[in-house]
Copies of this chain bind each other. A is one copy, B any other.
Amino acid sequence: MHLPNGADKRERILAVAEELFFQYSFLGTTLEMICAALRTTKPFVYYYFKNKQEIFETITWRGSVAVMTAMKFPADDMRPAHVKLAEGLHRFMAACVANFRSGALAYRDTASLRPQFQAKLRRLARYFYADLCTIMEQGRADGKLSFEDTMLTARAMVSVGAFMYAWYAPAGRVPPDEIVRALTSILFKMVGLRAKPMRVSDRLRVHTSKTR
């Protein structure tokens, strides 16, 4: 045990609030509930955050960024589009599973976000979809993929990851890695990609460069 510093305490607030916001929504979660779960008081929370809104948007932003950066590749990555898409979809699905709570807040509780924050999220999503659609169409032009409307197919694939909040339970029947592999394999079928999704260990062995 060690005395936690400020950053640790802030993280603890965020962790507890994420759980409560996911379960009860923004308006359904009171500061009293957050404080009770933290076994602390409101002024303690208000020392680290200006208000409830700031806590909520911090969590929401993290989750959204984690999911929406999966299609980013270095400019010098010259692999074929369908290979990048396979890796990107796998990263996307892994991020959806790892962040299924915070990732859901953006679209499930949109009304509780300030308009300017919503605009920031829409920008993030627009870039994600632009990257995704570009890679998809390159892969199709290369004859490696097969699908009809690009944007609708992209929306459908994102739905599979995004809607996970409604049914996924971390301690469920299938282990997380296996869920990621199986769902990624379903996304592959949706774009007519033949390859099987790599296992996490394979991906780490083949692709060692850090993208962040």
Residue numbers of A with Cβ under 8 A of B are: 23-25, 27-28, 107-109, 111-112, 147-149, 152-153, 155-156, 158-160, 162-164, 166-167, 174, 179, 182-183, 185-186, 189-190, 192
Contact = CB atoms under 8 A, between A and B. Distances in A.
A109 B25 contact: yes
**For the complex of A and B, 10 pairs with smallest distance between CB atoms:** A159-B163, A27-B27, A107-B166, A163-B163, A156-B160, A159-B159, A24-B111, A156-B186, A159-B160, A108-B108
- Copies of chain A in the complex: 2
Given A160-B159, A189-B192, A190-B190, A111 B152 contact: no
Given A27-B27, A186-B190, A189-B190, A174 B152 contact: yes
Contact of A152 (B24, B107, B182, B192): B182
